[in-house]
């Protein structure tokens, strides 16, 4: 379908809303989407002259461990893309992004495909020979992009033959690369990227060199592209921004969220904020292994829309995205979302954990951190605490003002962007190890934490230089209870709540060879703070090659139900060293 044939929809100059839509309610979703467009003039695809473009990302729930033959499993997932692409096209999406492993799913037989180089030949949609098993998925995807007139980004395994005499060639005679593929509106392949930083992917190979992949669109935006664990490293992620001046990023992931600092939306939006770029992030949805989290993030201007969906289902997030040339200086003020209200979440009949408990998060190892317990204020008491916590030479300075409150006496901003009520249920926790703390729970305690060292991943096979200065919630005074989730009884009058009137953190980080970002969580559903609620500032450090970073709570309303507030730093120079064990 050509651009001119796309159904009339939202005018790019008049509509500034975003939607997050569940596959469970597509009739209502379509009605809502079309309602946005009811008064808008007819629009075609975005053009280079437009001040914005329309983007969609999908939290995609590919079935796990289906037992199906590889081709059948992949084609089932390719066909599942169709309704989602159609819905995005109905609101004039110019580009739609699907996640890492989205066409394969977890624990399924792998189907490697030989993906042509960008610009090599025509569109797979025109290749009748591609009806054969080896080319059928590419042909279907190409035709899907053409039919709906969108740029389509998918992830698959690209099989490339070994060169003659290649001593490193696998026994199978070819390399298998975790790959993002981009189809343009005509169905042609215009870009592909091979993932460089693998996360224990034993069936995939590391490409011989890192690829800094960009592609241009007919609506005047150049995108960079990388996959999942790549975002944690200098190359290609930060390098794309630094060396190629890319301001819009395609990011597909099958992210395994970790509390309290590295849940999906929290980390990905924090990275976008730190580098001040637009990120279109699509995540795999598999709550049983902690995978969900997709969104559209506009740098320091904040989050345009996102989902952390604890139900196993597809969710489409759609937004009008301003082009960088039309960004205004400074951060546009953003009010707290209407449903950041603890009374809604913990009032009679409400149970915010009824579904969240199905989302199984990893948990950081606090025993490696240095920590200090903050005093917990009595009801109506204001407490100020200041000091520092050091892990070796790395010190986290803090200055905090807190007040003890009763839940139903406060007008404080707090808990969830998702809001809503759910049916009452029995108490449960995210981790069984929190059971003992839950039994005696009478309100959150808070600790300031500091870490400077090397963190191990996948059993220590991968290691990353890490520095953290933060504030975290705990279920009791015992440091081992930190990062735990309590799930019932928070509406009890006996619960002691802590309202944060001000929070200031500061630490010194390397000026080069690293990335530092704000890592925030509020409430039970893994929601990050809006960009307007905090300020991350940098200034030159006392020593050459250093910088001081400060993170401050800047919103006007006091903050209740804070779970994490931190500066999370990556030190690339320490990557590959033995993990810190004490």
Structure confidence at residue 327 (pLDDT): 75
- Counting Cα atoms < 13 Å in the Cβ hemisphere of 4 gives 0
CA distance 264 to 253: 9
pLDDT in tens, 14-53: 333 456 555 434 433 444 444 444 433 344 699 999 999 9
Which of 100, 201, 258, 508 is flagged as catalytic?
A: 100
pLDDT in tens, 181-237: 999 999 999 999 999 999 989 889 999 999 999 999 999 999 999 999 999 999 999
Please give the backbone phi and psi of residue 92, each rounded to the nearest 5 degrees, phi first.
60, 35
Higher pLDDT, 326 or 258: 258
Percent of the chain residues past pLDDT 90, beyond the cut? 68
Please name which of 345, 264, 312, 295 lies closest in space to residue 22, comparing C-alpha atoms.
312
In angstroms, the Cα distances linking 306 to 60, 257, 264, 282, 296 are 13, 15, 10, 10, 6
Question: Does 68 participate in catalysis according to the annotation?
Answer: no
Residue with tokens 């042909």: 139
| 8-state DSSP, 237 | I
For residue 379, pLDDT over 80 is answered with yes
pLDDT in tens, 506-517: 999 999 999 999
CA distance 144 to 103: 14
Which of 228, 396, 474, 482 is flagged as catalytic?
A: 228
Burial class of 186 by CB neighbour count within 10 A (0 to 12, 13 to 18, 19+): middle
Which of 195, 323, 438, 455 is flagged as catalytic?
A: 195
Residue 573 tokens, joined: 């120079």
Structure confidence at residue 460 (pLDDT): 75
Per mean pLDDT, which range of 114-128, 485-499, 518-532 is the poorest?
Answer: 485-499
For residue 333, pLDDT over 50 is answered with no
CA distance 411 to 466: 37
In angstroms, the Cα distances linking 550 to 148, 305, 392, 420, 506 are 46, 26, 19, 34, 4
DSSP H or E stretch at residue 248? strand 248-253
Question: Could you tell me whether strands 278-283 and 462-474 are parallel, antiparallel, or unpaired per DSSP bridges?
Answer: unpaired
Q: What is the rounded average pLDDT for all residues in the chain?
A: 85
For residue 435, pLDDT over 70 is answered with no
In angstroms, the Cα distances linking 404 to 347, 441, 480, 552, 559 are 19, 16, 23, 20, 12
pLDDT in tens, 49-66: 999 999 999 999 999 999
CA distance 580 to 531: 32
CB 104 within 8 A of CB 154: no
Altogether, the residues listed in the chain come to a count of 582
- Counting Cα atoms < 13 Å in the Cβ hemisphere of 73 gives 22
pLDDT-based confidence at residue 121 (cuts at 50, 70, 90): confident
CB 330 within 8 A of CB 299: no
Please give the backbone phi and psi of residue 32, each rounded to the nearest 5 degrees, phi first.
-65, -45
E-strand stretches of 352-461: 362-363, 370-373, 382-391, 394-405, 445-457
Residue 164 tokens, joined: 């003659």
Question: Does 195 participate in catalysis according to the annotation?
Answer: yes
Question: Does 482 participate in catalysis according to the annotation?
Answer: no
Higher pLDDT, 16 or 556: 556
DSSP three-state, residue 153: strand
DSSP states along 469-498: EEEEEESSSSGGGBT----S-TT-TT--EE
Please name which of 138, 125, 30 lies closest in space to residue 86, comparing C-alpha atoms.
30
- Counting Cα atoms < 13 Å in the Cβ hemisphere of 332 gives 10
DSSP three-state, residue 423: coil
Alpha helices in 38-188 (DSSP H): 70-90, 136-148
CA distance 52 to 41: 16
Please give the backbone phi and psi of residue 443, each rounded to the nearest 5 degrees, phi first.
135, 160
Dmax over CA atoms of the chain, in Å, equals 76
Cα torsion angle, 498, 500, 501, 504, sign: positive
Per mean pLDDT, which range of 151-165, 260-274, 312-326 is the poorest?
Answer: 312-326
Structure confidence at residue 329 (pLDDT): 57
E-strand stretches of 5-99: 18-22, 52-59, 95-97
CB 21 within 8 A of CB 316: yes
Residue 229 tokens, joined: 């664990």
CB 553 within 8 A of CB 502: yes
DSSP three-state, residue 152: strand
Per mean pLDDT, which range of 182-196, 334-348, 563-577 is the poorest?
Answer: 334-348
CA 450 to chain CA centroid, Å, is 24
CA distance 316 to 318: 6
């Amino acid at each position: 379908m050509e651009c001119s044939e796309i159904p009339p929809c939202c005018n790019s100059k008049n509509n500034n809303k975003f939607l997050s839509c569940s596959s469970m309610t597509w009739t209502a979703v379509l009605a809502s989407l079309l309602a946005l467009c009811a008064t808008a003039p007819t629009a075609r695809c975005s053009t280079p002259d437009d001040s914005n473009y329309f983007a969609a990302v999908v939290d995609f729930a590919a079935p796990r461990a289906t037992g199906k033959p590889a081709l059948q499993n992949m084609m089932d997932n390719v066909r599942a893309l169709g309704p989602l692409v159609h819905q995005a096209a109905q609101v004039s999406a110019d580009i739609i992004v699907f996640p890492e492993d989205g066409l394969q799913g977890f624990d399924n037989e792998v189907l490697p495909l030989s993906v042509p180089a960008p610009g090599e030949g025509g569109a797979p949609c025109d290749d009748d020979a591609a009806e054969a098993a080896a080319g059928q998925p590419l042909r279907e995807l190409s035709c899907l992009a053409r039919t709906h007139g969108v740029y389509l980004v998918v992830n698959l395994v690209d099989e490339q033959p070994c060169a003659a005499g290649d001593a490193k060639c696998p026994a199978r005679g070819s390399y298998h690369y975790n790959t993002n593929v981009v189809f343009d509106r005509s169905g042609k392949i215009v870009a592909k990227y091979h993932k460089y930083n693998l996360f224990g992917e034993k069936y995939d190979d590391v490409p011989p060199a890192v690829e800094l992949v960009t592609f241009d669109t007919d609506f005047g935006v150049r995108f960079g592209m990388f996959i999942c664990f790549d975002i944690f490293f200098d190359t290609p992620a930060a390098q794309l921004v630094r060396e190629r001046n890319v301001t819009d990023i395609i990011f597909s992931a099958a992210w395994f969220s970790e509390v309290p600092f590295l849940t999906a939306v929290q980390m990905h939006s924090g990275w976008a904020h730190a580098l001040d770029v637009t990120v279109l992030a699509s995540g795999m949805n598999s709550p049983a292994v902690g995978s969900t989290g997709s969104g559209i993030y506009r740098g320091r201007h904040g989050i345009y829309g996102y989902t952390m969906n604890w139900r196993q289902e597809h969710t489409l997030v759609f937004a009008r995205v301003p082009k960088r040339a039309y960004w205004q200086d400074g951060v546009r003020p953003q009010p707290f979302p209407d449903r950041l209200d603890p009374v809604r979440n913990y009032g009679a009949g409400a149970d915010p954990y009824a579904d969240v408990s199905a989302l199984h998060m990893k948990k950081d190892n606090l025993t490696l951190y240095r920590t200090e317990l903050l005093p917990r204020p009595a009801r109506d008491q204001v407490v100020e605490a200041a000091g520092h916590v050091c892990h070796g030479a790395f010190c986290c300075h803090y200055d905090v003002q807190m007040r003890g409150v009763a839940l139903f006496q406060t007008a404080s901003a707090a808990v969830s962007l998702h809001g809503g009520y759910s049916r009452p249920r029995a108490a449960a926790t995210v981790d069984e190890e929190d059971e003992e703390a839950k039994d005696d729970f009478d309100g959150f305690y808070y600790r300031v934490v500091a870490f400077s060292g090397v963190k191990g991943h996948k059993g220590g096979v991968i290691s990353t230089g890490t520095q953290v200065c933060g504030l975290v919630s705990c279920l009791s005074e015992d440091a081992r209870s930190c990062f735990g989730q309590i799930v019932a009884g928070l509406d009890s009058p006996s619960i002691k709540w802590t309202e944060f009137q001000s929070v200031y953190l500061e630490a010194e980080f390397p000026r080069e060879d690293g990335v530092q970002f704000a890592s925030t969580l509020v409430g039970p559903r893994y929601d990050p703070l809006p960009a307007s609620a905090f300020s991350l500032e940098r200034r030159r450090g006392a020593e050459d090659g250093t910088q001081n970073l400060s993170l401050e709570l800047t919103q006007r309303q006091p903050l209740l139900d804070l779970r994490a507030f931190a500066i999370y730093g990556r030190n690339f120079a320490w990557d590959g060293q033995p993990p810190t064990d004490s």
